[in-house]
Amino acid sequence: MEILKTFALFAVTALAEILGCYLPYLWLKQGHSAWLLVPAAFSLGAFAWLLTLHPQAAGRVYAAYGGVYVCVALAWLWAIDSVRPTVTDIIGVGVCLLGMTIIMFGPRPA
């Protein structure tokens, strides 16, 4: 249960970060309204706050979060950009998620 809870929190965190970066992209590259910067700022603030909700040391959380971020970014690529991930993308995500699991839940010295 702890693994699912951690993964879900990381996934929500990744969505907040991706959205916070995607909205300025829409403004800068696709000519959308600069008002998109307002929800982008809130989204990036939520991203930073969400990372603080883990009880582990910050460096460990940031390292493990990267693995889930890769997974969510590829899901975003497929859902929003309509680019289907390749087999090597899927294998890479599996490696990243395995790494995240090892970092977060591996044995620790007493």
* Total-model pTM: 0.87
pLDDT at 2: 82
| For the chain, domain boundaries | 2-105
pLDDT tens-digit series, residues 77-103: 999 999 999 999 999 999 999 999 999
pLDDT tens-digit series, residues 3-48: 888 889 999 999 999 999 999 999 999 999 999 999 999 999 999 9
Q: In this structure, what DSSP letter does residue 32 have?
A: -
- Mean pLDDT, the chain, as a whole number? 93
